[in-house]
Amino acid sequence: MAIQDCNRKITVGIGQMHICGGDANENIENAIYFIKNAAQQGSSIIVLPECLDFGWTNSQAIKGAETIPGFYSDKLCLAAEENEIFVVAGLTERFEDKLYNTAILISNKGEIVGKHRKINILEIAQHLYSKGRSCVVFDTELCRIGLSICADNFPEYGAIAETLGLMGAQIILSPCSWAVPPDYKQEQEPYGDLWIKSYSEIAKKFQIPVIGVSNTGLLEDGAWKGWWCIGASLVVSSNGNVQKQFEFSREGNQLYQIEVELP
């Protein structure tokens, strides 16, 4: 697939959607709503959160997770095709006897271009998800896209993002699920320093934008049960500066749009 000329801008939809823990059907329908509206607003691609089907670390995925391609990814592919928009989405993937925390890239023709399985699985999630074993970059008509997922971008795991940069990614897109304890006070300690640091370092080093999109909603299962996912999705430009950090929100369902400049 040919890559269009560099030194231009693309419009990215930021799908900071609310995820209802364990309710895959409702969450997939919500994702489809985001895809449709992002396309109507003129986005070329939309990024959706991590594990948007069941929610991060939700045990309902043990019985309910699907293969990729499979029931849930097919629905997202159809929405991408009908609305002629690229989609990056986090799903729980069933493969043989394992589950993976996976991000997929869908073309504007509804085809799965490829997928990334999360590598840095936190200890509290290792009972549920197996570790991915590769980094991936995909050539599309938009640009060369690198995929990572949430904690893959921790500073101590910088080799993952650096590998994407070395592989020639022109942008890194990252489904996330950023969570805080129930007593967290955003006014006293604004969220995001960890991600700003890691995103800025990789963006500046390789002169590429880095985007992380997190959901909102209560974690209803797992070691962090009772914690809140809080949005605060982040766009760092290719010079390493924060272009935009979006709303900190526990229960919101927000679709944003931003124009980013490619290298």
Look up the CATH number of the domain holding residue 34.
Answer: 3.60.110.10
Which residue in the list 66, 75, 93, 118 is annotated as catalytic?
118
Helices 158-166 & 193-206 angle (0-180, nearest 10):
30
Q: Is 149 among the domain residues? A: yes
SS3 228: strand
Helices 71-83 and 24-40, interaxial angle, to 10°? 20
- Is 100 a member of any domain? yes
Tokens of 190: 């604004």
**Which amino acid type is present at position 251?**
E
Annotation says 150 is catalytic: yes
Structural domain includes residue 1 = no
In a domain, 175, yes or no: yes
Q: Do β-strands 234-236 and 242-245 pair in parallel, antiparallel, or remain unpaired? A: antiparallel
Domain assignment of residue 21, yes or no: yes
In three-state secondary structure terms, 52 is coil
Q: How many CB atoms lie within 10 A of CB 76?
A: 24
* Count: domains in the chain: 1
Per the annotation, the verdict on 118 as an active-site residue is yes
Q: Which residues of the chain have pLDDT under 70?
A: 1-7
- Whether the bond between 155 and the residue before it is cis, its omega within 30 degrees of 0, is no
Containing structural domain, residue 164: 9-261
Catalytic residue among 51, 77, 143, 150: 150
Q: What is the pLDDT of residue 1?
A: 47
Task: With respect to residue 110, please indicate whether it lies within any of the assigned structural domains.
Answer: yes
**For residue 180, what are its two tokens?**
């805080």
* Residue in 50, 93, 201, 220 annotated catalytic: 50
Question: Is residue 242 situated within a structural domain?
Answer: yes
CA distance 254 to 229: 13
Q: Note whether residue 4 is domain-resident.
A: no
